[in-house]
Amino acid sequence: MPARLPSLTGLRFWAALLVVLYHLARKVGEVPLLGPLAWYGRSGVTFFFVLSGFVLAWTYDGAPTTAGRFARRRFARIWPLHALTTAVSLGADAAIGAALPLAAALWSLPLVHPWARETVFGGNPASWSLGAEAWFYLLFPLLLRTLAPRRRSWLPLALLCAALGPALWAAGALLPDDPAVRGWLLDYLPLTRTPQFVLGVATGLAVRHGRLPRVPLAGAAAAVAGWHLLLVPWHAAAPDSAWWGPYSASQLMAAPLFAALLVAAAQRDGAGAGPRLLAGPVAVRLGEWSYAWYLVHEIGIRCWLGTAGRPAPGAALPVVWLLLAAGSLLVAGGLYRWVERPCERALRGRPAHTAAPLPHPGLRVLRQRRRAVAPGQPSREPSRLT
């Protein structure tokens, strides 16, 4: 079994919450104070792309897993719930009288829809990121085979990927002066998002083999929060339609901050000291629900707007926010228990053996000191990742 990092699972919930609040602010209405902070919460998708590379590198480095087995396990992980929520999304559109994106839905089933601007949102708009993930999964076996033996390349590659985000954002000045075209090229096209995934792979390998210094978790979290606070005055100074605005920047430039947060959380887990806010049982369970939550929350928002309309500003608005967020989270919990996990177990086959993670050298020293102080006490080894 591959090694588990519970804090990273807990972080998945907070990233999904960021995306949920983003859609609530933009589609339902802005709640004072919280609305401006969530206005660019779509950066949570960037977090998931970096997280995907990090966890896959941590899990499969040194594992005797074939490309075919890897592809089957990834298919079992994301496709069943994707297919179900696509059908639910089309049913919701039909129920509220919206146009049915049937052609885009067909392209989304093989997960190739984000490669064309006309089909990028598929049958379920949230599924565009799954098309990017499918592209990453195609790259990953070759990427891991190339990078794993070249340890000196990990940190330079991570720095290069971190620098590509600002470079791509600045390249918006050279793209067509059409927000729809520019938005697709910078925000949705899988090639544009690939450096974020590669950044996750490189940092995951570096942490697993103890090639990075300790990163304070509080400092990394403060940097992420500070970045989103900075976007508030930036939004007031530049419209989203302008290439120099914060819309694309919020997603393309946040990847290094998210990578640092993942490094810090993984190191804390390796030391057996993951905070309860991220590694506690409630946080982990909510993180496990995050994939289903991400796929269903926008469908609930669309149904509400199609039937009840947008609430007027005032006391009703935060109540609607709470109802939609909590209701879709409960639905996600049911989907995780009765659809996502059973389908994954049925399709993925027997688990492959994976080498145990290599702890950070500093963590080994810390554990030795703990054993010396409290002989006979069980060591707090990292838990296991499925």
| pLDDT at residue 378 in the model | 33
Question: Average pLDDT of each block of 10 consecutive residues along the chain (386 residues)?
Answer: 79 98 97 94 97 97 90 96 98 96 97 97 97 98 96 97 97 93 96 98 96 96 97 94 94 97 96 90 97 98 96 94 98 98 89 45 42 39 34
| pLDDT at residue 350 in the model | 61
| pLDDT at residue 274 in the model | 85
- What's the CA gap between 303 and 291, in Å, rounded? 20
- What's the CA gap between 161 and 56, in Å, rounded? 17
Task: List Cβ neighbours of 95 (8 Å cut-off, separation of 6 or more).
Answer: 303, 306
> What is the distance, to the nearest Å, from the Cα of residue 287 to the centroid of all Cα atoms in its chain?
11
- The SS3 assignment for 210 reads coil
Read off the tokens for 247.
Answer: 């819309």
- What's the CA gap between 224 and 220, in Å, rounded? 6
| pLDDT at residue 354 in the model | 42
- The SS3 assignment for 348 reads helix
Task: List Cβ neighbours of 149 (8 Å cut-off, separation of 6 or more).
Answer: none
| pLDDT at residue 7 in the model | 97
| pLDDT at residue 351 in the model | 53
| pLDDT at residue 3 in the model | 62
